[in-house]
Amino acid sequence: MVEDRSAVRELVRETLAPCGYKILEAADGKQGLEVCRSHGEPIDLVITDLIMPGLNGKEFADLVKQRHKNTEVLYMSGYGGDALAGIQPENEAALLQKPFSPEAL
């Protein structure tokens, strides 16, 4: 999971960890790439904010998918419309609009 806001990372962790998910966390795309490189196992799912400092979520996910071909991606964003131009996911179902509830996640 890559998200620059600690409160959102905490919500995701507290929602998914009790369900048995092993969660790797990073505060930005650069740190996320380091975490992925040091993790020796396949990565099944990337949950990433779309708009972050440095690498945006789409760039980050594309780099992870080069190494882990079968990785699925769930994007999160508190922005819409023009702010997402050029980085919006191809599949609308892959975008979780912030704020969201644990149930929506």
Examine residue 1 and state whether it is found in any structural domain, yes or no: no
Residue 105 belongs to a domain: no
Name the token pair of 10.
């905490």
On whether residue 102 sits in a domain, the answer given is no
Residue 21 resides in a domain: yes
Please give the structure tokens belonging to residue 91.
Answer: 């599949």
What pLDDT sits at residue 40? Answer: 82
pTM as predicted: 0.87
pLDDT of residue 83: 53
What pLDDT shows up at residue 25?
97
Q: Per-residue pLDDT tens, the chain, 105 aa: give them.
A: 999 999 999 999 999 999 999 999 999 999 999 999 999 899 999 999 988 888 989 899 999 999 889 999 999 888 766 555 555 566 655 888 899 999 999
Residue ranges making up the domain that contains 56:
6-97
Which pLDDT score, from 0 to 100, does residue 85 have? 56
3-class SS of residue 32: helix
Q: Specify the pLDDT at position 11.
A: 95
Residue 13, domain CATH: 3.40.50.2300
Tell me how far CA of residue 57 lies from CA of 21, 46, 69, 76, 90, in angstroms.
21, 10, 17, 9, 13
Q: How many domains does the chain have?
A: 1
